[in-house]
Chains A and B, each alone.
Chain A
Amino acid sequence: MVNADISLTIGVLALQGAFSEHLQLLKKAALALPSNITFRFLEIRTADALATCDALIIPGGESTTMSLVAERSNLLEPLREFVKVYRKPVWGTCAGMILLAEEANRTKKGGQELIGGLDVRVRRNHFGSQTESFSTPLSLPFLEDSAPFYGFFIRAPIVEQVLPPTTLESSLENNTTETITAPSKNPINAVAASFTSPDEVKILGRLPPSKLTTTQEDSNLGVNPAEGRIVAVEQGNCFGTSFHPELGSDIRIHKWWLEKVLEKVEMKRRLETES
């Protein structure tokens, strides 16, 4: 599949949180990939640095802190453009997934800014406080082998609901006191647009039902507890996990994601030369 030498720049948003752990796992995962791919891994704190990236990871941390610092560092709009206008590959873990969601619940008073990209509604701190954190084996069918992946859930969010596709109109309607939404944007060109998939949120992982905490809000939504809550989703260029793969030493998800990035970047570069 990979013919010529190719170089990729992967950024990790380094405003706050567990960015150094992601960088370490990325470097390890890169060693497991073909040597004709040259990777450059960067800590991203400015819009200029972001512009050089082919793909981005938004790490775990405090999503309120990250979005406030992003806003004050003039990074919020460039991030939205990266995700929604240029449609470059982005992976959010925990707080990062909250920022990639189109809607979020249980935010601080006055809400918080979201980037959006995944048509899901997440519920922040689903499992409660720090002391309710846990790690659990997850079965993730998209990984090449079936060995369980240990997911670390720390004040973790959960995907509460897969939403109908966002449009410019609908994104403005849903801002209520309980739920906040991300602003909608149009892809820059046909190539970027081909990386959206408006009607397709793929559910890539669920929490075993034994780890389920059912709440009043669940029954109001008609959630079926036996299915297990959604903890990994993919839609177009966006990938989100409510757990922290970067806090263990298992490189499988990082490797899988880098392969996806490579695939998308190659396709994009090909389409751009053709058009």
Chain B
Amino acid sequence: MATELPVETHATLNGANGTGSIAKDATSFANKDALARGVIMDVTTEEQARIAEEAGASAVMALERIPADIRIEGGVSRMSDPGMIKRIKAAVTIPVMAKARIGHFVECQILDAIGIDFIDESEVLTPADNVHHVTKHGFKAPFVCGCRNLGEALRRISEGAAMIRTKGEAGTGDVVEAVKHMRTLNSEIKKAQNMSDEELYVMAKEIGAPYDLLKKTAQLGRLPVVNFAAGGVATPADAALMMQLGCDGVFVGSGIFRSGDPAKRAKAIVQAVTHFNNPQVLAEVSEGLGEAMVGISVAKLPESEKLQGRGW
């Protein structure tokens, strides 16, 4: 079970980020409400978005190609056609997210302009900047960003991310990297909790994270924003595994619409996230789901083909 995110966090966190206005506060922790303990699904068409909504997804991620296809087809992967995103927004009543390339602040401006509910500055797309991430404070839409460890998570939060997810290894159907990233986060947070202020200053320097956010994380015993699992979740058991490791919710990318029976699998994963601590329910929903996505073992993937290395 995830450590609770205390209710006082909002005010202090926003204070620390220097985004004073009350109106801004509401959006920056908006994700806590609607998405918490939910499943966010990758969709490429209005039909898939409707299947996701019917299954009980708490949001959808609109994109032209799911990570598994990006992996196969290669080439430069960019923000989706705003027209396609708008059509998906019109088809469902749940929030719609879309991805922008790392550092591509103009793609973010465009997504903000069409009234997207969340922007994912994502390593799944080809990065547009090899050094900088987008400064996320100025946008109306809240941001979600990936991380592999605590330093990366806190750098993104410092830049304005309102939500963090593990990077995992998108489009593989192999959960091993998401587990590794969550385990790494947990163990680094535990380490920080036992540190004196002097030691925290050194740790902040070593992991390249702002001291204030590190201190806050150590006090809370968790990240100061919601933290979802992403990258390789393919089964209800995978989703419950990530929840039991302490995630606040789950992204499922290629895992659903690359499987034999997407509607059934999507429903099962939603149930698994709610009842993540109940093996009886997990057994029931795992039954007869048909073929899972074939997947690629991350261990067989050459370093150059891994997406998680993108981001700085």
A residues contacting B by CB (< 8 A) are 14-21, 23-25, 45, 60-62, 64-65, 68-69, 72-73, 94-95, 106-110, 124-125, 128-131, 133-136, 150, 152-155, 244, 246-249
Contact = CB atoms under 8 A, between A and B. Distances in A.
Interface in B23-69: 23, 25-27, 29-30, 32-38, 50, 53-59
Contacts of A61: 33-34, 36-38, 58
B54 A129 contact: no
8 contacts: A16-B38, A61-B36, A72-B267, A73-B271, A130-B95, A133-B26, A133-B30, A247-B32
Contacts of B115: 128-129, 131
Nearest to A112: B93
- Size bin of chain B's contact surface: 35 or more
A128 B140 CA distance: 13
B278 interface: yes
Among B92, B141, B274, the most chain A Cβ lie within 10 Å of the Cβ of: B274
B202 interface: no
Given A17-B38, A130-B142, A153 B26 contact: yes
A129 B88 CA distance: 13
Interface in B260-294: 267, 270-271, 273-275, 278, 281
B117 A24 contact: no
Given A65-B38, A131-B112, A25 B23 contact: no
A102 to B, nearest CB: 19
A244 B275 contact: no
B56 A68 contact: yes
Contact of A19 (B26, B37, B54): B37
Contact of B274 (A16, A133, A246, A247): A16
A18 B25 contact: no
B302 interface: no
Nearest to A93: B33
Contacts of A65: 38, 56-58, 94, 270
A23 to B, nearest CB: 8
B275 A130 contact: no
A60 B116 CA distance: 20
A24 B6 contact: yes
A131 B278 CA distance: 35
A17 B141 contact: no
The list of the 6 closest CB pairs from A to B, nearest first, reads A130-B117, A68-B56, A131-B140, A133-B26, A60-B33, A62-B58
Given A25-B7, A68-B54, A94 B93 contact: no
Given A16-B274, A64-B53, A154-B33, 11 more contacts: A19-B36, A20-B5, A62-B38, A65-B270, A68-B56, A125-B93, A135-B23, A154-B27, A244-B33, A249-B7, A249-B8
B117 A129 contact: yes
Contacts of A64: 53, 56, 93-94
B243 to A, nearest CB: 12
A21 B32 contact: yes
B34 A249 contact: no
Given A110-B54, A124-B93, A247-B7, A150 B267 contact: no
Contacts of A45: 274-275, 278
Nearest to B34: A62
Given A131-B141, A135-B25, A247-B10, A68 B55 contact: yes
Interface string B109-122: 00010011110000
Given A18-B32, A19-B37, A73-B271, A131 B58 contact: no
B4 interface: yes
